[in-house]
Copies of this chain bind each other. A is one copy, B any other.
């Protein structure tokens, strides 16, 4: 099933919200409530969920747990992707400590850095290797996904080294620069300051 990117994004948001509601003991939720909590139109929520075969009951809504399981199934990966995080600075450590990144779904097996204080140690339980040995460790561990939190100045160099090792399928790039990869490597860039710029841009619009 091919799903458009904004839909995937909303799907992941529904999933996260339903998990939260479930943990709070909620049994049902309406499309209006979901929409309000995620800043979406209720009609968009209904459209998305009916596309995936879930129809809310008029005046009742959706069963939280059933909808959660249903979306889990769609998002579920048939396997755990072996992941490495490259660049164990403040952002890298923040991600490693982030609840969501320590989920069972993600399997961060190795860290790479050049800092002698970090190389050879375990950071939050994960072994840190020197970038010089990245290619061989990637092959040894079968790493397929990279979380890139290296400084901008060396981001492309890291990517070149890592992809040259072979086997890398995707890169989640947190460095605020564009990176170039071989065509078979999928790149997702997350520029965390973009969101602040967007917020300020909308506030400006409200002010005018």
Contact = CB atoms under 8 A, between A and B. Distances in A.
B192 A190 contact: yes
Contacts of A78: 204, 207
Interface stretch (A54-62, A98-106, A109-117): A98-106
A177 interface: yes
A188 B192 contact: no
Interface in A81-121: 81, 89-91, 93-95, 97-101, 103, 105-106
A145 B199 contact: yes
A2 to B, nearest CB: 7
Interface string A177-202: 11010000011101111111111111
Given A39-B187, A103-B193, A106-B196, A178 B20 contact: yes
A190 B201 contact: no
A172 interface: yes
B177 A100 contact: no
A12 B194 contact: yes
Q: Is the interface of A mostly helix, strand, loop or mixed?
A: helix
Contact of A16 (B2, B38, B194, B198): B194
A205 B4 CA distance: 12
Interface string A28-61: 0000000001110000000000000000000000
B172 A199 contact: yes
A73 interface: no
A94 B90 contact: yes
A188 B199 contact: yes
Nearest to A187: B39
Nearest to A196: B172
B199 A186 contact: yes
A135 interface: no
Given A94-B94, A170-B200, 4 more contacts: A77-B203, A89-B97, A103-B193, A170-B199
